[in-house]
Structure 1
Amino acid sequence: MQQTLPLPKYHSVYLVLKERLRDGLYDERVPGELELMEEFAVSRATVRKALENLAQEGLIERSAGRGTRRLPPPATAGHDAPPPTRMTGLLDNLITASLDTTVKVIEHEYVPATEPVARMLQVEPKSQVLRAVRVRSTKAGPVSCITTWVPREFARNLGRRQLGRKAMLVLMEESGIEIGRAHQTISARQADAAVAGLLGMPLGSALLSVNRVVYDVKDRPVLWLQGLYCPDRYEYEMELSRVGEIDAKVWVSKDFNAYMR
């Protein structure tokens, strides 16, 4: 079993301060370097690096003589309305979130379906399925490593070049597949050597793990996805009520800095 490696000290300080800023624990004034050095028992260089990262994200402003002050969260600024899509609810939001990222196709090949893949996609074992591995990134760095399997009959519009340009669900809709619903589970996993390298994270880092099966309107499985997400760059929110519909939303941050190697 892999052991989780500790985060760099500056990154631990940075994460704590960012959560405090998000939770509104600081008014306009943010504690200075000396106060933070004492609180976290770290060096000035460590505190300075954490504050520099927060400043680069637009969460704080630092100036000589005035110290450090909190800035309004980037989410409060106005954003252009997302382009309309034909799907609604969570699936629509997943597509919209993907539009804020770029994608690199790491693997793209037709392979015989293993027993777990065949079971999830309700196809015969060893039948041909498309296996694609993609890394999604913002300007700040990688956000997710996503592995998908698609039955060959539903993969005719999913070429390597196309997957590098558009979201998979958009391509499937364009090929005439009508998306109906999805079943999703969320858990946690540690980054193995391969994923850690692709996401630029330490080996053993905690990742958000998403397992999703997408069905068409005839309730046929058309896609099985296993996604591993950097937890400080990907957010999942769900509104729950006693009656009525469940509204879920996904955000991908465009501003968070990449992990330092």
Structure 2
Amino acid sequence: MTRDASRPAPRLSSPTFSPLYRQIKDFLIRSLEEGEWGPGDAIPSEGELATRFNVSQGTVRKAIDEMAAENMLVRRQGKGTFVATHSDPRSFYRFLRLVPDDDKAAHAVSDPFFCETIDASPEVAAVLGLHAGDKVVHVKRLLRFSGEPVVFDQIYLVAELFDGLTLDGLRGGERSLYSLFESDFGVRMIRAEERLRAVGADAQSAGMIGVKLGEPLLLVERTAYTYGNKPVEWRRGLYSTRHHYYRNDLG
């Protein structure tokens, strides 16, 4: 999508309070939020953006470099720069860090079995920046590796962003949940924060994952954010580590 030529270019404020490239980055993020370029779309060249914002190409390049490092944009050698998308198979393992003990690639299958709109508890509301009693979509699902249930997720989504989400919709196709959220609801997860701790399996999780009551599980609490650093998802995942481990690459 091209910018309306009749629309004046954004006026940059003095860089006294924010580096110029950061201001360019903010304008680009706003364009992504407003849908000027969708997931998978090519953005204009650095030269075109430099002209639009009346800055040097080096300034634009620095803004794009930072957005690429934050997985908002993807550079493709000889092709240009594109909006990152969850439909790219390489993005799947960015948010799923569970690996089989033998390190062999294992196909993970999402198996949702519950989806209802409910009132947010004070805990859920606090995480998602809502008020207690605001509507959230509550999803429960198992994540299976080679048919084995390994993860029991309870997921809470800001309801106004996922109007019309149903259990049948969650079960359709082989897409990851984040790919479905992006394509069907226009919500892209940009980054996530996680907290990990060891817990004992309660009766529900033991039955779901097929472990003994009290058996150690890894609790992963994740808050996922979309553009503008807005929290849109909170999930509590219980991971069985009998045959898998959680891997995080640092550096």
Common topology (TM > 0.5): yes
Partner deviation per Cα, 1:46-83 (whole Å, 9 max, x = no partner): xxxxxxxxxxxxxxxxxxxxxxxxxxxxxxxxxxxxxx
* 2:179 aligned with 1:170: yes
Quick check: 1:159 aligned with 2:173? no
Structure 1 residue 100: deviation in Å? 1.9
**1:106 Cα deviation after fit:** 2.7
User: Is residue 134 of structure 1 aligned with residue 147 of structure 2?
Assistant: no
Deviation at 1:97, TM superposition (A): 7.2
Query: Is the 2:143–2:152 Cα contact (8 Å) retained in structure 1?
Result: yes
Aligned partners of 2:178 and 2:188 also within 8 Å: no
The answer on 1:110 being equivalent to 2:117 is yes
Could you tell me whether the CA contact under 8 Å between 2:118 and 2:136 is conserved in 1?
A: yes
2:153 corresponds to which letter in structure 1? Answer: I
Do the aligned partners of residues 156 and 168 (structure 1) sit closer, same or farther apart at CA in structure 2, a change above 3 Å counting? farther
**Residues 1:187 and 1:91: Cα distance change in structure 2 (over 3 Å):** farther
Structure-2 residue corresponding to 1:93 = 93
Alignment-mate amino acid for residue 223 of structure 1: E
DSSP-derived class of the 1:119 partner: helix
> Structure 1 residues 233 and 156 mapped into 2: Cα distance closer, same or farther (>3 Å)?
farther
SS of structure 2 residue aligned to 1:117: helix
Aligned positions of 1:47-126 closer than 5 A: 86-87=85-86, 92-94=92-94, 100-126=107-133
Matches of 1:153 and 1:104 in 2, distance apart?
24
Consecutive unaligned residues in structure 2, runs of 5 or more: 1-83, 99-105
Match in the other structure for 2:191? 181
Match of 1:150 in 2: 157
In the TM superposition, residue 101 of structure 1 has moved relative to its aligned partner by 2.1
- Number of residue equivalences: 157
Q: How far apart are 1:176 and its partner, in Å?
A: 1.2
Deviation string, structure 1 residues 175-204 (Cα, Å, up to 9, x no partner): 212322111111111110111011111111
Q: Distance in 2 between matches of 1:117 and 1:146?
A: 15
Unaligned runs of 5+ in 1: 1-84, 242-261
The question of whether the paired residues in 1 share the 8 Å contact of 2:92 and 2:176 is answered with: no
Structure 1 residues 215, 153: closer, same or farther in 2, change over 3 A?
A: same
Structure 1 136/238 Cα, relative in aligned 2: closer, same or farther at 3 Å?
closer
Contact 1:108 1:160 in 2 (8 A): yes
Shift of 1:231: 0.7
d(CA) in 2 for partners of 1:201, 1:211 = 20
- 2:205 is matched with 195
Supply the AA of the counterpart residue of 2:198: A
Give the RMSD, CA atoms, in angstroms: 2.6
Moved more, 148-157 or 125-134: 148-157
Partner of 2:223: 213
In the TM superposition, what is the alpha-carbon distance from 1:238 to its structure 2 partner?
Answer: 2.4
Residue of structure 2 equivalent to 1:47: none
- Deviating above 4 A after TM superposition, structure 1's stretches of 4 or more consecutive aligned residues are 94-99
Q: Which residue identity lines up with residue 176 of structure 2 in the other structure?
A: A
Q: Report the Cα offset of residue 140 of structure 1.
A: 4.3
1:18 aligns with none
CA deviation after TM superposition for structure 1 residue 91, in Å: 5.8
